[in-house]
Amino acid sequence: MGVVIESEIWEPNATIYIFLLIACFVAIFLLPHFSNPTTASPFDLNISSSFLQFQRKFLLLYFLSSVLEGFWSVFGEYEMANYGVSRENMALSLCVGCLASLFAGTFLGMLSDVVGQKKVCFIFCILHLFVGIWKRVITHPSIWVASICLSLASSIFSFSFETWVVVEHEKLGYRQDTLNVTFWLMTFSESASLIGSQMLANWIARNGLEKSVVSPSTVSVFLAMITVIFVARGWTESPVKEGLNAYRASFTAYIFGDKQIWLLALAQACLHFSIAVFWILWAPTIVADGREVHLGLIYPSLLGSRMLGSTLFPWFINELASIRTEDCILYTFIFAGLVLSIVAYDYQEIGVLVLLFCLFHICAGLMLPSLARLRTMYVPNEFRAGMMSLSLAPANAALLLVVLNGGYYRNICNATIMAFAALGLLVAAGCISMQSECIYIHVGGKNEGCEQDNLQKWILALPLTDYGAVKRAKYR
């Protein structure tokens, strides 16, 4: 049967942007009116001014870093196409980046736990600064060098900033429930910064590339230098006292010895893999069979959906007290997996595909801060970055195999790869289901539940290896 290709370019209805904008504002500004007085919100007048200053300074730094991180992810493919790079070489450069993240990025989180998050975030800025200068000086720079540097920078971005804010938050003694606000604001601001990165990239593309004063490399250098200044002047960090040998022994005992933690790590890896696959395949899926689509107008609707999902997080976690974080993320994983299964299984019209993609990103906006909260409940702060970077290893390995076989050798089709992404989300749901069984702590020969009043007794009675159980009791 022949396929009729429409001549007109499909664009999303403008009302989708209005709906997402209004829905986000309604979710945020109605929250104080329905909030439990004992829970934190962005409008809580009882929160100390020092915490608000700490939070705003961090979110500004995180926003700048997100713009820097998102700029090349938005502009990179367009730039490579402008240089005449073939599809196979693009896929190969992505494979090289996956290899760099797999073999070097996996250990950067452990390094940051030992030397401190500030030093590793300086590496993040330096990598972007190097790529910007490299592309500005060299007429036709190596895409492999850029891919390696940007992949390592992405690995650092995925764990270092979150770990820093959690560690410093606890050292400064702020209320633990305010971390939940910070987590969803991080997802919200990152999505907004990616939209800003797209606007910046489009503006540069309209004004020409490397011969222009406002070339992408110049903008990258400028953003990297600003981020370096913010990290240096606005960042405080207590010195790390633990040595490498002591850290390795403790990390092995806590992370690999706790089934709860490595199940959580596997769930994180599955989510990372599924999101990475989505961003590789969403455009080819929409323009399949020669359909003409204005992709630049669909991109902000996807990120707007993720912003909406992040604003739903405080409603589910704080206001619907009967729903545990584990249950909320379990159902969200299942729903997101079913959404991607529909995309993988059946050919859809563009409007239906965009709706399914938006639903997936609403789920992603809810899952990302939920996983951050679970990490705070289960993972010791001094091993948080190492655990997060280690969880990226299976995701990067799976992504490498998928890109190599699907993008370079073309042995598997896009629908099969999308099915793998859906399967990954369902596997993550299974991990959360196994991990979310009720935690009981054995004290004095009997099992006691996680009641806050007994926390001090648990801490005194627990052996050192039960540190994760103390955190679970503390954050429930």
Q: pLDDT tens digits for 155-171?
A: 999 999 999 999 989 88
DSSP 447: E
SS3 400: helix
pLDDT given at position 398 = 95
pLDDT on residue 19 = 94
Mean pLDDT of the chain: 83
The arithmetic mean of pLDDT across residues 287-309, rounded, is 90
| pLDDT per position as a tens digit, 392-451 | 999 999 999 999 999 888 889 999 999 999 999 999 999 999 987 644 333 334 334 333
| Distance between first and last Cα of the chain | 57
Q: Is the pLDDT of residue 321 over 60?
A: no
Distance CA 312, CA 177 (A): 16
Q: Report whether 232 contacts 73 (CB < 8 A).
A: no
- Is the separation of the CB atoms in 380 and 468 below 8 Å? yes
Q: Which residues pair with 447 in a beta bridge?
A: 442
For 247-258, the pLDDT digits (tens) are 888 898 888 888
Q: Which alpha helices (H) appear in 138-215, and where do they start and end?
A: 143-171, 178-206
293 Rama sector, left if φ>0, alpha if ψ -120 to 50, beta otherwise: beta
pLDDT in tens, 195-206: 988 888 878 777
Q: Residue 134 pLDDT more than 90? A: no
pLDDT for the residue numbered 209: 55
pLDDT of residue 391: 94
In contact, 119 and 108? CB cutoff 8 Å: no
Q: What integer pLDDT is reported at residue 72 of this predicted model?
A: 79
Round to whole Å and give the CA distance between 468 and 171.
Answer: 17
The pLDDT of residue 442 is: 34
pLDDT at 28 over 50: yes
What are the residue ranges spanned by the domains of the chain? Answer: 49-437
Q: Would the pLDDT of 75 be above 80?
A: no
Task: Please give the CATH architecture assigned to the domain spanning 49-437.
Answer: Up-down Bundle (1.20)
**Which residue type occupies 440?**
Y
Predicted confidence at residue 37, as pLDDT, reads 57
**DSSP strand E in 291-370: where?**
none
3-state helix, strand and coil shares in percent for the chain, rounded to the nearest 5: 80, 0, 20
Q: Average pLDDT for residues 74-89, to the nearest whole number?
A: 75
Contacts 24+ apart (CB under 8 A), 20-24: 20/301, 20/304, 20/305, 20/307, 20/308, 21/304, 23/308, 23/311, 24/188, 24/304, 24/307, 24/308, 24/311
